[in-house]
Chains A and B, each alone.
Chain A
Amino acid sequence: MNLQPTIGLEIHVQLDTRTKMFCACELSFGEPPNTRTCPVCLGLPGALPVLNAQSIHFGLMIGHALGCELAPQSIFHRKNYFYPDLPKGFQISQYDAPLCRGGSLGDVRIDRVHLEEDAAKLNHVGVSGRIHGAGSSIVDFNRGGTPLVEVVTEPDLHDAEEARVWLALLAATMRQLGVSDVRMAEGSLRCDANVSLAPAGSGELGVKTELKNMNSFSFVKRGIEAEIARQRALLESGAEVVQQTLHFDPRSGNLTSLRSKEEAHDYRYFPEPDLVPIAIDEEMVQRAREAVGELPATRIARYEHLGLSAEHAHQFAFRPALGSFFEAVLSAADGASPRELATWTAHVAAALGERDPDASALEPAALAALVALVGAGRVAAGPARTVVLARLLSQGGDPARIVEQEGVGALDDDAGLADAVAAAIAEHPDAAERLRAGNAKAIGPIVGHVMRATKGRADGGEVTRLVHERLGL
């Protein structure tokens, strides 16, 4: 049986507003527990929520970025359930009137984008680290009330790696919008995945399960892989998949059931009577539109159109600092192909690791000039990268002068190179013989010898030409 997985994602992203969603407490970044709280976010009797306008602005920016339809009027609902991290006994969320609907990112359609408040943080004291079996649990309300945006996709993904790549694109989009720093390890982006399997081509969806609260790209991938494997084994053995909510433990790789369909909460959603409807006017829409810059998906398409490899297009789109540097090199260059310039920008990225090019001594124009020297055969690619670029990164300067100072300029068709070729042929008579016999690959050892002898300064094409000439080929 050829079973095809179908995956939909629900992503929660903490928004970098100054204050919480419904009160004036500033967002918390590791402050001592329960120091960023007030009657509202503690759910004290009599306290009332007041909506943070910046969260709406951010929500609308995300809506624009994902090509959603923005609701002219949107309302909040109460999602009712008991849990110690939920001080009011309900979460203020959105239900049937979300801020944004529809849209897409890459090939994945968006179902909806809505706003809600984050829960507090529970620390369970005990071995399990979970509420069941914990001796006691400590609640830190600093996080409670942090604005969250929830993005729900249509079930348009079909394998775990595809889901991981798409999630990275979404995270890059949020970061580039400036609405969230998306630090997954700190829980500022959390992902749920709905997974089901059905016979390929059947046009139907199988029974789905939900994987909750995965907080890294690789856990998302591994969790989905594990769940696909579990469902596949069940279905192939003739058993059925039971609809349920699962927890993926990244340490053990195990999936455990949190609750079955029968145990699913009835959240008793109803419109939040303490808030008034949000009326979105044209000015708010316009302001959000203007705040959205070029987004990763657009950049990827533009770079690929310039002829860059998919790998470089993604790399520069996801790291805006790298993308900007590449574009500066591109505009400083005269005639070099964008693909070539991208390769050199990638060399820069590789040399710098996590550091951005701006943090080095390298000027975009200098890199463009270096690429031009290589293109003109004035310096070979090897020393250009290992010697010249290395110096440019650490000290800056003019590439042509560095080539001269370091003595790594290319050797042209002078006696020196011809002598080196003659010497190499003399050293490798067997290779010369096979080359004469028509084995083109046999030139390798001879060229290698010349390169070693000239410390890489010789132009490979020129060396090949001279070898052929000398052997009368």
Chain B
Amino acid sequence: MSAPPRTATEAVEAIRAGQLSARELWLACQAAATDDELNAFTWVADADDGPNEEAAALPFAGIPLAVKDLFCTEGIPSQAGSRILRDYRPPYTATVVRQLLDAGASLLAKTNQDEFAMGSSNENSAYGAVLNPHDRGRVPGGSSGGSAAAVAAGIVPWALGTDTGGSIRQPAALCGIVGLKPTYGACSRYGMIAFASSLDQAGPLTRSVADAALLFSKMVGRDPCDSTSLAFPEAIELPRSERLDGLRFGVPDELTGEGVETGVRAAFEASVALVEQLGASVERCQLPHAPHALAAYYLIAPAECSSNLARFDGVRYGLRVDSQDGSLEEMYSRTRAEGFGAEVKRRVMLGTYALSSGYYDAYYGRAQRVRTKIAEDFRAAFERFDFILTPTSPTAAFELGARTSDPLAMYLSDFCTVPMSLAGIPAISIPNGASGGLPVGLQVVGPAFSEPRLLDAAHALELAHADRVKTIALPSPLRFEGNENGAAGARE
């Protein structure tokens, strides 16, 4: 093997062509994951548990996949970054994970994350912070920080994350990779440990747009176990566009002005110019309710989480801290006090308050009305535009600890990504050069179920961006030692 494959698509092709065996790729990734210094993983498979010959014949050719900790994986720790689920091993596997394994992916690792996906820096994990591979003094973003860091560092070809308010897109941006948040309902949520049910979506974190399309193509579909899932209306092909001729892009004032740091804005403006060079039109537009998205989000998501996390009560699984007075109530409160971290407690309390009798209409009810307005803003915008363009995150990766004492500053990390989550529409973050040497993301947003066209447009931009993106590419940590001494001779 002369050079490790740069993307999952290349790895599959190399295995197909006999230039690489699924087994040796597995071993290289397994070794890199075991040696990981970023704290990206909460569990890594044994070297012996790699793909067999049959997997190599499947669409994904047995290549390794890392999966965010909150996906249930049968018999394998699925802890959602929480102490309350330490070493919890579910009796079943999440639908999307099952679909990817059935397509020939090999489960290499579970990735670190903010506890129950609540956070934008991965510092809220009970299993420690994840480091950004571009600067180990900085955060990788969150909540899918482990998945983003592992893919950016080249340890795994691709990974699965989840996005509730930006948890795929923001870490993808901060780590310089591709992250797709699909249309709400495109992928099953069955087996994803829930944060906010009406917002959570699984999606790919990859090193190319083609990889995102490839992984996504096997994730979609109606799942009889998830009432909110829908059949995807068309097949997901690999994107091929190189131009954007005739497409109309909108740039919303509300998400591209105040609060976006200088370097990020410069990168964004450069990509707007690029969009026009590729043959598309770009116009400014308004999403009048988008500035209220964060406020609405921080009522709806905590409200749902306060209910979703009620099941962690020490009765059936996970942590139990016995009461001292023998009462049930004290067992509940001690278990939850010790089992949940500060951010989770903050949101459970916020949500409990927002749903309380007498406050429901003022908080949860009003937030839902704002949500409707935001969705209407997007609908109106998509009558004029094919896509909307924004920076993914207002800033590049920040230093570890910089925002941990200021939750509101942390919440602002998701300023540009939350409106799409509330509207349930797809958005992709692609690398967009650097600001101060750190990766920056560009977010492309489309109407519901427009992923095939969204991926096509992102692909054209990715190609045009190639030179700028190279500056932030990291060297691969994969070592194919077996090859050098000729022991793994599958391709000889």
| A166 contacts the other chain (CB 8 A) | no
Enumerate chain A residues within 8 angstroms of B71, measured Cβ to Cβ.
46
Query: In the bound complex, do residue A276 and residue B78 qualify as a contact, i.e. CB atoms below 8 Å apart?
Result: no
Contact B197 A50 (CB under 8 A): no
Per the CB 8 Å criterion, the residue count for chain B at the interface is: 45
Known contacts being A43-B311, A87-B315, is A273 close to B90, with CB within 8 Å?
no
Contact (Cβ within 8 A) B328 A270: no
Interface residues of A in 28-72 (CB under 8 A from B): 39, 42-51
12 interchain pairs, CB-CB under 8 A: A45-B193, A45-B311, A46-B72, A46-B190, A46-B193, A48-B226, A50-B226, A84-B313, A89-B309, A266-B357, A270-B360, A274-B226
CB distance from B336 to the nearest CB of A (A): 10
A sample of 5 more A-B contacts (CB under 8 A), given A39-B90, A270-B360, is: A45-B312, A46-B193, A87-B311, A89-B307, A268-B352
Interface contact B224-A50, CB-CB below 8 Å: yes
Q: How far is the CA of A87 from the CA of B228 in the complex (A)?
A: 22
A139 within 8 A of B: yes
**Contact, CB under 8 Å: B310 / A46:** no
A131 in contact (CB, < 8 A)? yes
Report which of A49, A51, A80 forms a contact with B310, defined as CB distance below 8 A: A80
Q: Known: A44-B91, A270-B360, A270-B364. Contact between A131 and B328, CB under 8 A?
A: yes
Closest A-chain residue to B365, C-beta based? A270
Interface check A325, CB cutoff 8 A: no
Q: Measured between alpha carbons, how far is A84 from B317 in the docked complex, in Å?
A: 12
Alpha-carbon gap, A122 to B425, bound state (A): 44
B-contacting residues of A (Cβ < 8 Å)?
39, 42-51, 78, 80, 82, 84, 87-90, 131, 139, 266, 268-270, 273-276
Complex-state Cα separation, A322 to B364, whole angstroms: 55
The reply to whether A275 and B227 contact each other, CB–CB distance below 8 Å, is yes
- With A and B bound together, what is the CA distance between A46 and B227 in angstroms? 13
Number of A-B contacts (CB under 8 A): 105
Q: Which of B217-244 contact A (CB under 8 A)?
A: 224-228
A183 to B192, CA, bound (A): 39
Question: Is there an interface contact between A274 and B310, defined as CB atoms closer than 8 Å?
Answer: no
Q: Tell me, rounded to whole Å, the shortest Cβ–Cβ distance linking A79 to chain B.
A: 10
Q: State how many angstroms separate the Cβ of B184 from the closest Cβ of chain A.
A: 10
Most chain B beta carbons < 10 A, residue from A50, A84, A268: A268
Is B225 touching A48 in the complex (CB atoms < 8 A)? yes
Report whether B227 and A44 are in contact in the complex, using a CB–CB cutoff of 8 Å: no
Q: Are A80 and B307 in contact (CB under 8 A)?
A: yes
What is the distance, in angstroms, from A32's C-beta to the closest C-beta of chain B? Answer: 18
**In this complex, what residue of A is CB-closest to B188?**
A48
Which residue of chain B has its CB nearest to the CB of A85? B315
Give min CB distance, B365 to chain A, whole Å: 9
Among residues of A, the one whose C-beta sits closest to the C-beta of B229 is A48
Contact of B355 (CB < 8 Å), options: A48, A88, A268: A268
Q: Does B470 contact A (CB under 8 A)?
A: no
**B194 located at the interface, meaning its Cβ lies under 8 Å from any Cβ of chain A in the complex:** yes
Which residues of A have CB within 8 Å of B78? 45-46
Cβ–Cβ < 8 Å partners of A269 in chain B: 355, 360
Q: Of residues 310 to 356 in B, which have CB atoms within 8 Å of A's CB atoms?
A: 310-313, 315-317, 328, 332, 352, 355-356
Point out the residue from B80, B225, B303, B360 that lies within 8 Å of A45, measured CB to CB.
B80
Q: In the assembly, what is the distance between CA of A268 and CA of B306, in Å?
A: 10
